[in-house]
Amino acid sequence: MVETKVAPTMFDLKGNVKFNKSRTHRYELMITWKQPAKKLAMVITNYPGQSDGVVMDLTTMLVVNQVSEMGFDGVVMVNLFSKLGLKGHPKELTEGIDSVT
């Protein structure tokens, strides 16, 4: 058996999240994996999931994976409706925005 030394791959994953003061609305989630990030993709989604910069939901992971495969240095995710915890019901969506959104 031959032992091969493998050099570790180094990267710096950074997340930046913009919430309102009461943390009930998330306006932007930016995740970068190359520093400095020169080429960013913007993805517009309907409403925010559970991602908060540390925890990632499935949608955020799939977006990050696809954007990375496309050769970008990071992604900025914004939402049409910014309120956290929306399920997509039409009555909820009327309350899903605030003055910043």
The whole-chain average pLDDT of the chain stands at: 86
State the average pLDDT over residues 4-31.
Answer: 86
pTM of this prediction exceeds 0.95: no
The whole-angstrom separation of Cα 86 and Cα 48 is 8
Residue entry with tokens 């240095």: 73
Res 53: pLDDT: 65
Q: How far is CA 31 from its chain centroid? A: 6
Span 37-75, pLDDT tens digits: 999 999 998 888 777 667 788 889 999 999 999 999 999
Q: Which of 88, 62, 72, 74 is nearest to 29 (CA)?
A: 74
State the average pLDDT over residues 75-101.
Answer: 83
